[in-house]
Structures are given as structure tokens and as C-alpha cells.
Amino acid sequence: MTTKYTTLLLLFVFAYAKGQTGDVLIKGGTVLTITNGVKENTDVLITKGKISAIGKNLKAPGATKVIEATGMYIMPGIIDAHSHIALDAINEASHPVTPEVNVGDAINPYDVSIYQALAGGVTISHAMHGSANAIGGQCQTIKHRYGEVNPDKLKMEGAPRTIKFALGENPMRTHGEGQGIVPRTRMGVEQVFRTAFSDARVYKQQWADHKAGLTKMAPEFSLRMETLADILDGKILIHCHSYRADEILMLLNVLKDYGVKKICFQHVNEGFKVAPELAAFGASASVFSDWWAYKFEVYYSTAYNAAILTRNGVVTSINSDSDELIRHLYHEAAKTQRYGDLSDEEALKLITLNPAKQLGIEDRVGSIEKGKDGDLAIFDKHPLSVYAIPQFTIVDGNVLFDRKNDAADKRIDIDPEEKLEAAFYERLIEKDNCMQDVTETLFFGHQYREALHKH
Amino acid sequence: MGLIQRTSTWCAMVLWCTAAMYGQQSDAPVEVTRNYFIRNAFVVSKPGVAPSLQSIIIRDGIIDRIGPGLSAPPDCKVVAADSMYVYAGFIDMMSHTGIKKEEEKKDAPKPASRGVANFEQSGITPQITALSKLAAKETSVGDLRKAGFTISQVFPRGKMIAGTGAIISLVDADHEDKMVIRQGTALHSSFTTASGAAPSTVIGVIARYRDLYKNVASALNNEETFALNPAGLKRPVFSKELQALVPAYRKEMPVYFVAPKSKDVFRAIDLQKELGYKMVLSEIKHILPALNEVKAGGYSVLLSLDLPDEIKEEGSKKGEEGDASKKEDKGQKTEKKEEETKKPEVKKEKTPEEKDLEARKKKSYDEYLSQAAVLEKNAIPFGFSLIEVKPADVLKNIRRLVKAGLSESAALAALTTVPADWLGLSKTNGTLEPGKSANLVVADKAIFEEKSAIKRMLVDGNLYVMEDKPKGEGKVDEKGMKIEGEWSYVVDVPGQPQTGKLSFTRNGRGYTGTSVSDNDPGTSDALEDITVEAESVKFNMTVDMGQPTTVSFDLTFMTDSYSGSVVVTGMGSFPIKGNKIKGPKNQSFSN
Amino acid sequence: MKALYLLSLSFLTFISLHAQMVKKSEAGPFLLKNATIHTITKGVIQGDLLISGERIEAIGQNIKSSAKYTVLDCTGKHIYPGMIDGGTQVALSEIEAVSITNDFNEIGDFIPHMQALTAVNPNAVTIPVTRTNGVTTVLTGPKGGRFPGTAALIDLHGYTPEQMYAGFKGVVLNFPSSGRRGRFDRRSDEDVKKDAEKALKKLDDIWAEAVLYAQIDSAAAVDKNIKINRKPEMDALLPVIRKQGVLLVEVNKSEDIKAALGWIAKNKINAVLTGVAEGSRVAQDIAKAGLAVITGPVLETPRRDYDRYDTPYANAGNMLKAGVRVAIRTDEAENARNLPFHAGFAAAYGMGIDEAYRAVSIVPAEIFGVSKFYGSLEAGKVANLYICDGDPFETRNQVEALFIRGWKVPLESRHTLLYDEFIQRSPGVK
């Protein structure tokens, strides 16, 4: 009895990137560097997780894994600036202002969506809090190190702190309609920000006074106020869910009044209307390629949004906000060629260097350059072709997606009591990641269905 | 109207709870001595020691002597244990044994538009003690004792921070206080969210923990400042919750953090590192992925004994359904056999995909069961927690762990010496030695053998004899389906026993039923969700007590009688028993 | 209440006005010269195509021009038959989250008499948007309960639903599912199973009633003494019971597909399977049953966590390889314009480009029984076609002109109009 099981025990090793060392040589492909043009028939060498050489006829130490990529296209690992995969909690919808929460505390490394994203060439995503609250929670930039079981290992080391804000219908619906508290209108949304920032200034002053010895008794500690103060101090990048032109301008004004400089507007379907203002402020935009009309505030949208923003000098990215779209962001980026005629490089930037800039990680990723992280996506055809199929995806020099050799079932955490028959999901209810958890916490009953609508 | 009357009937069950208890007369038979002689048993004095034939003399709750060839002293009652096995009484480190079941407050509080939900709304109740929620009459006390346990560390039920635990002796007592060995022993923490208020997600819970511990520190500082010289200072606001967290903050009280899944384990470890308290990872179901982190952090672990449902070996039936061990009783088996003989052709060949999936599931299952063995091999200190497991499954499940590689001595240690050590009871409990408390288990076979059954228990020197289940005639038929008819009931509400009738009617493959109270014979309540498994019969009933309240019955039937417990949501659990009035042959109920 | 109603009415009018901003269509005849003509059914032809009235009058080399013709030089360009989306809610939904703008989900579980065509809004803002990518014809239909209504095939051009109607209607059946409704579905495994069994039993009951109703109806037609208690919902099922009409059976989970095949065979129904997300798993069974399939969306996540990541992409191709007749749908309202991309992905993941194009043209036309007029470029067929600068599935390529029933429809939509206005906004900043 015992002998049988001692051998079994040896099997339980949770090995991420089993047998890989972060070294790989990719030979003979067409390299889409993003920052330095297209290089035909070129090798890329990754050593210990970093790109160490780009050139012809590169040599690598004997044991280095080699990918024969002749005829293939190599691009930087795709970056999704707005996603909710790999998270066990998305909306702390209990209050319109919840900057104290951090989705980084709820990373789910077992989410098979991570692998599905890898299979679409996506190596980094911005795991975001939802849009139920005007000031939502802090977000986490993650590397898609699928196979890691420790949630912390997915966090991208050194990535700047980010936080989710939200304007318009979602906070209005969650709190105004749902709970009967401010905000129920866009007027209310503005004042939620102004009040929160004002409170945070008072809080900061109280602590400053205490620390300076002006007051003896310490004020109450509030992680909420601490985080708001950090936002005012520019220590946290704002990513704001927004749609309408007026509300975008409103937030720009609020930020100007409080001296906050950096913001990336998310979705920003009407960003095209205020592209000059966004460019003047230095705000960036992360948009859908073509989603529109699923709710009223996106009725006056255009699939040419990304092109108009780009042409007006706004740093723009295309995001998924969806565990479906994240699997083909290369195709979503290509739509800007149908809708707005962007060049290959402009289109590819939307899913590489530009989102990297928006997340503050452009010195690490987003292009194929020596010294950058070894995150690559390899396609059989040009990635902007509808027929392109990702073949390999590499994170930190480890091949984590290999189309030809991967098993079909890539789950890591298998419920020993699972019922195989019950594992099927119908598509009747749209998944709404941006509003996930809201329904469960606050909206049982008739509003359930309604609240499930997208974004 | 019957409604009002019934309302008062069920309400009465609660009203006595606090008051009636004290005046109770014990109906136990007169005891002439509390000295016992346990004769000629295989004694396993501590884990790792081979059983040897000895006798034990117990005087007034203390083990007096242990040895081979002792003869019965004249002042001792002889407990015939010839060739039986005796172990130190098991110690449960975490459960809700004896804790009254309370209903959640349904009036979901709205969060304030500025500020946060208050402590109670958020499920932060460290000031609640287990003792304040303990009820001596809870049937769970006897249930756990039947499984071999003599001591239990019990915790109040709750959410984020449920409250502090107490170590209790699993004796029948007329008052809770008499059970308590020590209280304020540990703090119960978890990632449980508040319903309808903040925190509503795990990220909200974690943020709240950070806030809390920071504010405990801050409150302590302010107190100190104020104590030093209060002149000109505003008095610090008192908070019973923050006060109650001080021992945990100062690492004087361990935090039992409930973290069943591996992701919870990782999160609990991260949080502990940040906040610094002394942590015991509790009610753990899956820990292997975090093994390195657990080892590095030096955490102690309480493995949940609520194990995955057993997976039957190939060939018996289509494995997809992952047969529950619960379903293993005879009744189900016979039914399955019938189905198979009826349509033997249906057994279709599994696709390669199905086979793969089943293999992966089996691998995961094996991994879960191997965990105790892995912890043992990695020298990670572990015991068991009994939050979710049914007491009757405890030994059965430990045997499954042993089968999966856990050594018998480690298993026994996790039930005896380890908890005695962790709970500071080593001087009095955990092993069988002269001078220690007379807490012991007598089983007919070695406890790790299949079908070993506990026959006697001594808890603090009190003898409990486990009644043999009547066999053959007395048993409900093999399909467990012979309850139709009318049965009397008596619910043991002290001072105010409730009586009435239960009726069951066969309906297809199941049952329908009604309950009529003698106080209100004109009205009947429908019985819902009636399940019959062998002799175990469970069902619910909803009564109106101002709001719809669920009454749950858990009964064990014999041929002509039954007994068990009835739980009134929010009010507690009461013994119930009854006899058959009418059988199927002369049924007279109309509907 | 009344005020609210009036308010919503004015709101809708407002929407309609905006939707009609696109220019009027032009009438032919049109002569398209020197094109690469992808007929789909008769190969690829280098030559000319003449549109006259609402039909294709001729395809061939050097068709003689006439002063009456508007001539378009198509040198280097490609002509394809208009794409047919085999399942959408186009023109039935304006804004999904604003419930009063949704006309695809009536109350009731057994309401096959609800006619999608009735609620088609010829001025829906989605119509011009869908056309711009070469989609000329869609099946638009109801969603919701067991029998949510009757879907209709429409051309994306016209001023009334009748003008748009393209000759096919089908009763929709959502076959009982033994899967979860979504990740939010927290029912126990037992409940999921029980509910499915209950639903199947109820479906059988309804069907037995419908068969009986048809029998009484037939008897009443010849015997005046037999009275029939008329029921519109049963009347709606009569064509299906009598095998004159098609039942569109929405079913996705492999086990359910098998159950549906059994149910269809048992009741001898003229059926088409729709959705069929897990068709790959039971492709042989579907092929054996000889049923056609309208599958999609292709761009969708796997329905089970243990499925291979590309299962939905490869599904159409896998069924085709097993011998199933496959059409592709988007199951979209506002983004049915993505039909070429759904087909493109199916093409890349095993279906091949030619077969994928058939799956959005001639195959759905055949399935809907309209292939005499739709689905390919042949003389005599309805002139639903477009001119493209290359492979229309390829993301970067542009549809340059589009014809529906011989009308040259402007390729304008809200999306292009907003682009035109805002690409260089004036005034800009300050």
C-alpha cells in the first residue's frame, strides 16, 4: 500500500515552464520590431528571459531551445490594457469609492483564460477592477505565466500601480439606481470625485499635522484615504472607464484642478469627439476595435475611433475587456486598417508599445529590442491577416504556448469532485466582466438580468 | 387561526433556552462510583507505540494506573474491554460543536454614501466569544463524542472575523460553563464576505484586514498617549472590536485562518506576512500548490476532514458521476444493480477524451488525498479541523488518508498529541498515562481498520456507552424506504415538550409528508425535501414565525421508532423522538 | 406611466431620424466591367456583370455596354455575392441594454406565432453598418423561451419589412439544455439535470398537442362537423408539423445535440440545427442524420474549460469534414458586420477559404430554400453583390460598392459619417 503511494507523491511537483530556463533562439523569421521596422529573415535570441540579440545567423549555447521560424512572423508579446481574466473578484461594489481594494489580492493563476490569451499571442494583461464605482479598486499588470500556481508570481515585477475609475452609466446604475445614493447622474459622478479628493486632502493634512507634532492623537487610519492621497501625489496611474465626450472632459477638468497629470481613458467610445482635448492634456486612450450600441452611452460610436485618435496624436491602444476578444487582439488591431487605414506598424502599436506606455512598462516590453523582456508572439502569417494563426507564445524566454505540441486540456486546478457533464456553459447570458460581482452582492432579483449587460 | 398558535409553538423552543436550562433535573441514573476499571484491552498509550494488552484504573476522572495483569479494584466499576483497543480521547482543534445555529440577519444594511459599513455589518466581530454562543444541549456535542472526541476547540459562527474560540470538554453538562476548559484561545478569521454590505468581495475583505490591524496599532498608540497625559486631549474613541483584536495583534493569540482552497492559502500567507499575527492555516482542503510557501513560512496546518467524494474504481459504472462515498450504503447499491441488469446494453464505450478527463480527475483526487502524507513527509506540523465534515465520517476519512500514505502514528498524533500540544493540554491530555485526564476511546478493533467501531468513551471520567445499532429485524428495509405511515413526535423542549404527528406518503420514488402539532390539530405543514438514505431520514419544514423560518429534521429510523434532532433556524437544535402509530397497511390519511 | 410612454416614443423617433442620415440608393442598370467574379457556384470568371432591375442579367466576357447603363470599371477588383448571415437580431434591437429598444424577446415560453418580420425596423441604425462589410442578407430572429417566435430572412435594404423580406421564415426552438446558463448559473448539478429533463418532457407534451391540433385541423378542413378551437401559436407550428416549414433548432451542448437529433428523428421534423457549438464532438451523428447546420459565433470562447482553446474556431471546419452542410452565423445585432471575420477564422482553422465563403452565401441560401435567387452570382439571381478590392475576409480589405436587389446602396453608416466629421474636427482645441 504505502510503496504504491510514495511513488505517487513524487508526481506532485508544480513546475512552471517545466524544463525551460528562459533561453530560446528563434531562427529565420520576419521580425516585426515595432520600434525599428521589419527585419526579414532575422533571428532573435532570448537569454535568461531577456532579448539578448537580434540579427542574422545568431548562435546560442548548445542546450538552448531553438524555434525554426522560417516563413513565420515574430512580434512583441501582445499587451492588453484592459482585461479581467485571472481574477476571482472584480467589483467591490459596496461603495462608489473603493480605492483601498486591489484586484492583485484576488489573482486566480488557474484561470484557463490565461492560456487562451497566450494562444492569441497575449503575454501581458492589465487585470482591472470593474466599473461599478466612480473610484474603483487598484488594478494589477500581470504576466501570463500560466502554469505558476502562486498568484504573486503572475504580477509583473516593477509595474507601476494603477487604479480604475469609472464614469457614466455603470456607477450611476450601481449606486444611484441600485442603492439610491449618489451618483445617479453625471453631475453626481463629478462630485463623487471632487468630494473624495477633497476628503483625501483633509486626511493628508491631518496626518501631516500629526507627524509634525502639531496634534498628539493620531487620526484614524484609512487605506481608502491613503490610496486617494497617493493618486493626488501622482503615485498611481488612473485608468478611467468612460464613454461620453462630456464626461471625459469633466474628468480632465477635475484632474487639472487637483494637479493630476496622467490618465488613460478606457473604452472611451466618444474619445474621437474630443481627440484634440485628449492630445492637449496628454491623456491616452484604450478602446474597443468595434464594440458599440450595446447600451445607450455607446450608441453614437464609430469603429474609426482608434484611427481618429491616432491621427490626432493620442497614444491609443486596443483592448479586449473580454476573455473572448483577448484571444484575437491581433485581429482587433487589424480592424483599424479596414476602419481608418492605419499602417501595419500603427496597427501593431495599438496592441504592443502603446498599451505598454499606458501601463508604464514601455521600457520593459512592447517592442523587440535588445534588453527588453523575452515576450514574443510567433505567427504563421502576418498577424494582421485574418488567416494568421499564432504558433508560439513566449514569456520571459519560456515557450508557454506551442500550437502543435500542447495538450488540449490545459487546466491546472482540477476539482476532484467535478461533474464532467455539468461543465458546459450556454451562451445565453452575456458575460460582463466589467460589472461582475455587482449583481451578486447588490442586485439579486429583477435587476439581475439587466445588470449583466456588457461593460 | 392555526398560524398564530404554531408560531408560538415553535417560538417556545427558544424562549426556554436561556432561562429553563438552569432548573433542569438530571434524569441520569444514580451513580455509585466514578471509578472505572478498563479490563484487558489493547492499549495504545501514544502514537507510534504498539498496542499491548493492559488494564486501566481510573479514579474520579484521572488515570490512576495502567499496566498488564492488574486486577479490578473493588471500588471500580468494571468496563469489559477484553481485546478491544483503547486510545487517548481525540481532540478536535476547530469546529462549531455545541454552537447554536443563528440565522443571518436578512435586513441588508446599506453602506453609507461616505464612510464604510460598520463592524457588525462587515462581519467583524472579534469580541464574540464561543462561550456566549455555546449551548450544552446541542446535539452536535454528542455527535462528535460518538466519533471518539473528548475535547473540542469550538468557535462561534461568523464572517470575516467570527470571534474567539473556547476549548470545551465534550461532556453532557447541565450548563455550558461546566464544559469549558479554557476560553479566548484563538481568533477565527476567514475571507468570508458580508452579504449586502462592504466588504462584498475577497479584495474588499483583504483591504479591510489591512485597515483593521493598522487601526489596532493606532488605537493602542493613542491610548498610551492619552494615558500619559490626557490634559487637552480628546478622549480616544472606544471600540470593542479593536480592543478584542489586541491579543491577535500582539501575537498573544493565534489566528485560525480558514483557507480551504490553495488560492486561499496563498492569500492568507500574503496577508499574514503583511500583518504579522501568528497564523494556523485552517480547514484546508488543497494545500499542495502552496507547499513551499507553507514550509518556508513555518505555518501550522489544520487539514479539513471533508474529503472529496470517493471515486469508484473502473468497471462498476460510468465514472463521470464520481460516486459519493455517502451513496455507498446498501440501498443505493441495490438500486444501481437493478438498473444495470435492466439495461445492460447502455454501458457504452468511453471516448478517449472522457477517459483522459477521468484520469485527470482521478489524479487530482489522489493528490487531494495524499496531502496529509505529504505534510507528514515534509515535517509540516498538521492536525485536523472539523468545520465541514460530518462527525460520522471523521474516522472513515482518516482511514482514507492512511490508505493514501499517511502513517497511522501521524494520523493518531493529529488526533491526540498534536492538538494537546497546540492547545496547551499536553500535561493533562493527548496520551494515556497515569495522572492524565480520563479521556479515552474504546473501540472494538484498531481504529484504522475498516469497520472498527467505537464502543465506549470516557470523557473527563464520565462513561458513555455507544449503543449497538440494532441489526436485522430492527433495520429499515434495504432500500431505506419504509417510513410511510403516521408517527408520533415529541420534541424535547425543556419544560414545554412539543408533541404531534408526522405522516409520510409514498410518491413515486420519493415521499411526501405533513406535520400536525397537537396544539393545533386543524392545520398541517408540508414536509419538504424528504430524503431517505438507509435509516437516515431528513426533511425540512417552513413555519411562519413572523418571517418564514426553516425547521430541519435529521432522524434515524428503526422499525417502529425513530430519534434524532430538529434544528430551528436561528434558535438551536432539539432532540426529537417518536413511534409508529400507523403503518402502510392501515393508512387512513386522506391526502 | 403615460408620460413615460410618450417620452419613450419621442426617443425612438429621434433615433430613426438619425439612422436615415445615409444617402439614398441609386437605381441601375449597372454594368460592372473587367472584374474578377467569384460566382461561388460556377467558378471564378474574369469578365463583366450586368445588373438590370433587381436581377443579375448577365455574366460574361465583353458584355455590350449601352447608354442606359451606369458603367463601373472594376479592373483589379473582385465581385462576390452578398454575404448571408444565418442568424442575427439585426433590425430587432437598437440598444441591447435599453429594453424598450429590443424587439427580439417577447414574454412567454411557447410563442412561435411571434413574427420577427413584424418588428423589423427598416431604419435601424445597424442596417447600414452591417452592409458596409458586404453582408446583404440576414436571418433575423427572436430569442428567449422554448419557442420564442418565427425568424425571417431579410435583405438589408428597403422601406418596409415586406420589401425587405427575402422569402424564408422559420420557427425557432431552443432545445432544452442540460448545460449551465452561464458562469453565473449556480444551480446544483442535480437541479441542472432535473430542469433539463422537465423541459424535455414539457417539449414532448407541447409537440403532442401540436400534432393533435394539426390532425384536428386537417379533419376540420374536410368535415364541417369537426370544430377546431383556433390557437395562433398552434397555427404557427402547422407548417412545421406538415413538413412544409423548417424548424430552427438551437442546440449547443454535444449531449443535447444528440438528444435533439433523436427528438427530430422521432417526430420526423424538417429541421435545421443552429448554434451547434459542440458540433465537432458529434459531427458523425449530425452527418448521419443528414441535417444542415447554421453554426456560430465562430469568435467565441470554448464552452468547457477543458476544451482545446481553438474548439470554436475549428468547429465549422470539423463538421464540414464529417460531411455536414454548414452555414455560419454571427448571432449578433450591432456587430453582424463581423460575419466575414467569423468566416475568415473558420477558414483559417480548417474550413478553407472557398468553403467558408460558401458557408456565408450559397449554403445558407440552400438551407433557407432560396438558392434559386440567392447565394451565388448567376444570371437570373437577385443582384445582391458587392465589389471588393481583394479577399473580403481579409481584415484590411475594403468593400467599395454594394448592390442589394439591384440598388446601389451607399456604403455610409453612422460609423463612416462620424469618421468624416471628426477625423479633422473644426474647431479643434481653442
What CATH number should be reported for the domain holding residue C217? 3.20.20.140
The set of cell numbers assigned to B513 is: 409528508
Q: Is residue C425 part of a domain?
A: no
Distances (CA, A) of B383 to B99, B191, B267, B368, B418: 21, 21, 21, 16, 7
Listing DSSP states for A214-270 in one string gives: S-SSPPPP-HHHHHHHHHHTT-SEEEEEE--HHHHHHHHHHHHHHT---EEEEE-TT
The answer, yes or no, to whether residue A138 has pLDDT greater than 60, is yes
Q: Looking at residues A50-58, what average pLDDT do you find?
A: 97
E strands present in B360-467: 382-385, 440-443, 454-459, 462-465
The answer, yes or no, to whether residue A85 has pLDDT greater than 50, is yes
Q: Is residue A422 part of a domain?
A: no
Specify the pLDDT at position B537.
Answer: 86
Please name the residue that has the C-alpha cell 438589408.
C156
Q: Is residue A267 part of a domain?
A: yes
Vertex C154 angle, CA C152 and C159, to 5°: 120
Residue in A151, A222, A417 closest to B266 by CB: A151
Please state, in angstroms and rounded to a whole number, the distance separating the CA atoms of residues A399 and A90: 29
Please state, in angstroms and rounded to a whole number, the distance separating the CA atoms of residues B12 and A448: 39
pLDDT in tens, B10-54: 444 444 333 333 334 445 556 788 899 999 999 999 999 999 999
Indicate whether this model's pTM tops 0.90: no
| DSSP helix/strand/coil, B364 | helix
Listing DSSP states for B444-508 in one string gives: SS-TTSTT--EEEEEETTEEEEPPPPP-GGGSPPTTS----EEEEEEE--TTS-EEEEEEEEEET
Please state, in angstroms and rounded to a whole number, the distance separating the CA atoms of residues A328 and A344: 16
Specify the pLDDT at position A278.
Answer: 98
Specify the pLDDT at position B443.
Answer: 96
Q: Is residue A63 part of a domain?
A: no
Is A417's CB within 8 Å of B288's CB?
no
The answer, yes or no, to whether residue C279 has pLDDT greater than 80, is yes
Nearest C-alpha neighbor of A296 from the set C35, C362, C334: C334
- Let me know if A118 is exposed, middle or buried by CB neighbors in 10 A (0-12, 13-18, 19+): buried
Same domain, C361 and C291: yes
Is C414's CB within 8 Å of A302's CB?
yes
Specify the pLDDT at position B327.
Answer: 40
Taking all residues of chain A, what is their mean pLDDT, rounded to a whole number? 91
Q: Which stretches within B189-343 are classed as H helix?
A: 202-228, 240-249, 262-275, 291-297, 330-342
Phi, psi of A425 (to 5 degrees): -115, 125
Specify the pLDDT at position A367.
Answer: 98
Please state, in angstroms and rounded to a whole number, the distance separating the CA atoms of residues B409 and B418: 11
Domain range list for chain B: 2-25+473-582, 35-88+431-460, 90-103+118-210+238-309+352-429
Half-sphere exposure of B207 (CA within 13 A, CB side): 29
Specify the pLDDT at position C422.
Answer: 96
Q: Is residue C347 part of a domain?
A: yes
The answer, yes or no, to whether residue C108 has pLDDT greater than 90, is yes
Q: Is residue C424 part of a domain?
A: no
Q: Is residue C16 part of a domain?
A: no
> Most B CBs within 10 Å: which of A6, A7, A10, A94, as the mutation test of the B interface?
A94
Specify the pLDDT at position B2.
Answer: 39
Say if residues A84 and A360 touch (Cβ distance below 8 Å): no
Same domain, C286 and C393: no
By C-alpha distance, the chain A residue nearest B290 is A150
> Most A CBs within 10 Å: which of C89, C192, C396, C398, as the mutation test of the A interface?
C396
Domain hosting C330: range is 83-374
Half-sphere exposure of B67 (CA within 13 A, CB side): 7
Is C348's CB within 8 Å of A387's CB?
yes
Domain hosting A88: range is 78-364+429-451
By C-alpha distance, the chain C residue nearest A429 is C182
Residue in A299, A324, A422 closest to C180 by CB: A422
The answer, yes or no, to whether residue C147 has pLDDT greater than 60, is yes
Q: Looking at residues C83-99, what average pLDDT do you find?
A: 96
CATH, range B90-103+118-210+238-309+352-429 = 3.20.20.140
Report ipTM for this prediction: 0.94
pLDDT in tens, B225-276: 999 999 999 899 899 999 999 999 999 999 999 999 999 999 999 999 999 9
Same domain, C332 and C354: yes
pLDDT in tens, A335-391: 999 999 999 999 999 999 999 999 999 999 999 999 999 999 999 999 999 999 999
Specify the pLDDT at position B25.
Answer: 43
Is B211's CB within 8 Å of A100's CB?
yes
The answer, yes or no, to whether residue B337 has pLDDT greater than 90, is no
Q: State percent of chain B over pLDDT 90.
A: 59
DSSP B320: G
By C-alpha distance, the chain C residue nearest A421 is C179
> Domain ends where: C348, C374, C400?
C374
Same domain, C53 and C109: no
Looking at per-residue confidence, does A178 or B468 come out higher? A178
Residue in B197, B207, B234 closest to A101 by CB: B207
By C-alpha distance, the chain A residue nearest C276 is A426
Q: Where residue A444 sits, what CATH number does that domain have? A: 3.20.20.140
Phi, psi of A304 (to 5 degrees): -85, 5
Min Cα separation C35/chain A (Å): 21
How many helices (H) and strands (E) chain A has is answered by 14, 16
CB neighbourhood size of C199 (10 A): 17
The set of cell numbers assigned to A389 is: 494563426
Q: Which residues of B173-194 are buried (b: 16+ CB within 10 A; e: fewer)?
A: beebeebbbebbbbbbbbbbbb
Please state, in angstroms and rounded to a whole number, the distance separating the CA atoms of residues B4 and C319: 65
Same domain, C58 and C100: no
Min Cα separation C40/chain A (Å): 20
Lowest mean pLDDT among A102-106, A214-218, C212-216, C236-240: A214-218
Please state, in angstroms and rounded to a whole number, the distance separating the CA atoms of residues C311 and C331: 18
Residue in C304, C395, C428 closest to A423 by CB: C304
Nearest C-alpha neighbor of B540 from the set B548, B551, B526: B551
Q: Is residue A130 part of a domain?
A: yes
Listing DSSP states for C233-286 in one string gives: HHHHHHHHHTTSSEEEEEE-SHHHHHHHHHHHHHTT--EEEEE-TTGGGGHHHH
Same domain, C238 and C307: yes
Q: Is residue C407 part of a domain?
A: yes
The CB-based long-range contact list for B279-282 (8 Å cut-off, 24+ gap) reads B279/B254, B279/B255, B280/B186, B280/B254, B280/B255, B280/B256, B280/B422, B281/B257, B282/B94, B282/B256, B282/B257, B282/B258, B282/B385, B282/B387
Specify the pLDDT at position C414.
Answer: 95
Nearest C-alpha neighbor of C281 from the set B353, B330, A51, A385: B353
Specify the pLDDT at position B470.
Answer: 47
Nearest C-alpha neighbor of C401 from the set C49, C88, C46: C49
A14: confidence class by pLDDT, cuts 50, 70, 90? low
Q: Looking at residues C191-207, what average pLDDT do you find?
A: 92
The total number of structural domains in chain A stands at 1
**In CATH, B2-25+473-582 is 2.30.110.10:** no
Q: Is residue C3 part of a domain?
A: no
Nearest C-alpha neighbor of A92 from the set A166, A27, A145, A30: A166
Taking all residues of chain C, what is their mean pLDDT, rounded to a whole number? 93
The answer, yes or no, to whether residue A11 has pLDDT greater than 90, is no
Q: Looking at residues C356-364, what average pLDDT do you find?
A: 98
pLDDT in tens, B76-109: 999 989 989 999 999 999 999 999 887 655 555 5
Please name the residue that has the C-alpha cell 491602444.
A317
Same fold, B2-25+473-582 and B35-88+431-460: no
Same domain, C302 and C396: no
The answer, yes or no, to whether residue B501 has pLDDT greater than 70, is yes
Q: Looking at residues A261-287, what average pLDDT do you find?
A: 98
Specify the pLDDT at position B498.
Answer: 81
CB neighbourhood size of B238 (10 A): 9
A264: confidence class by pLDDT, cuts 50, 70, 90? very high
The total number of structural domains in chain C stands at 2
Min Cα separation A419/chain B (Å): 6
Specify the pLDDT at position B547.
Answer: 64
The answer, yes or no, to whether residue B338 has pLDDT greater than 90, is no
By C-alpha distance, the chain B residue nearest A215 is B233
Q: Looking at residues B421-425, what average pLDDT do you find?
A: 97
Looking at per-residue confidence, does A333 or B114 come out higher? A333
CB neighbourhood size of B474 (10 A): 13
Q: Where residue C38 sits, what CATH number does that domain have? A: 2.30.40.10
Pairing state between β B561-568 and B572-582: antiparallel
Q: Is residue C113 part of a domain?
A: yes
Is A12's CB within 8 Å of B374's CB?
yes
Specify the pLDDT at position B105.
Answer: 58
Half-sphere exposure of A162 (CA within 13 A, CB side): 34
Report CA dihedral (C5, C6, C12, C13) to the nearest 10 degrees.
Answer: 160
Half-sphere exposure of B546 (CA within 13 A, CB side): 4
Say if residues C294 and C365 touch (Cβ distance below 8 Å): no
Chain A contact set for C176 (CB, 8 A)? none
Nearest C-alpha neighbor of C343 from the set C333, C325, C330: C330
Phi, psi of B553 (to 5 degrees): -110, 135
The answer, yes or no, to whether residue B579 has pLDDT greater than 90, is no
The answer, yes or no, to whether residue A321 has pLDDT greater than 50, is yes
Pairing state between β C70-73 and A122-127: unpaired
CATH, range B35-88+431-460 = 2.30.40.10
